[in-house]
Amino acid sequence: MSKTPSAVHKSEGGTLDKAIEEMRSALHEEAQPNMDAEKTGFLVDIPVELQIVLGSAEMTVSELMALQRGSTVSLDRRIGEPVEIMVNGRLIARGEITILENDPSRFGVRLTEIGGSIKAE
């Protein structure tokens, strides 16, 4: 069974949560003319892992072992429901799948919810 976002957060002792909240506050504050670039500039170079979660599924080990090429795994989300945008295992936004206008052979995610109002499902 995979870790939920809250389980990931708890296992890391709160340090990640504090860092994310500080980054979120710094990145979402309105730019102020007297804001020192030296104080905030370091944030933009921090590497993060971004994941788009289409859904999840639970199955037994025997069902997992029976999977083969051509098998279909049923996810817990329906077509059209929002996908989750995770940064370093933490839910930060939700969005909808879209086809890129400049390259119709690729898809992307248009953000529909972001920030503090997001609650893990």
More confidently predicted of 5 and 52: 52
How much is the pLDDT for 8?
Answer: 38
- Whether the predicted pLDDT of 41 surpasses 90: no
Measured CA to CA, the distance from residue 20 to residue 14 in angstroms comes to 10
- Whether the predicted pLDDT of 43 surpasses 70: yes
How much is the pLDDT for 9?
Answer: 39
Q: Which CATH architecture has domain 5-114?
A: Roll (2.30)
Cα dihedral value 74, 75, 81, 84, nearest 10 = -160
How much is the pLDDT for 94?
Answer: 94
pLDDT band at 2 (very low <50, low <70, confident <90, very high): very low
| pLDDT > 90 fraction of the chain, expressed in percent and rounded | 49
Could you tell me the residue ranges of all domains in the chain? 5-114
Q: Residue 45 has what DSSP assignment? A: G
Measured CA to CA, the distance from residue 74 to residue 58 in angstroms comes to 9
How much is the pLDDT for 35?
Answer: 54
Burial 24-45 (b: 16+ CB within 10 A, else e): beeeeeeeeeeeeeeeeeeeee
What would the two tokens of residue 113 be?
Answer: 């919810």
For the stretch 79-94, pLDDT in tens is: 889 999 999 888 999 9
Most confident of 55-64, 86-95, 108-117: 55-64
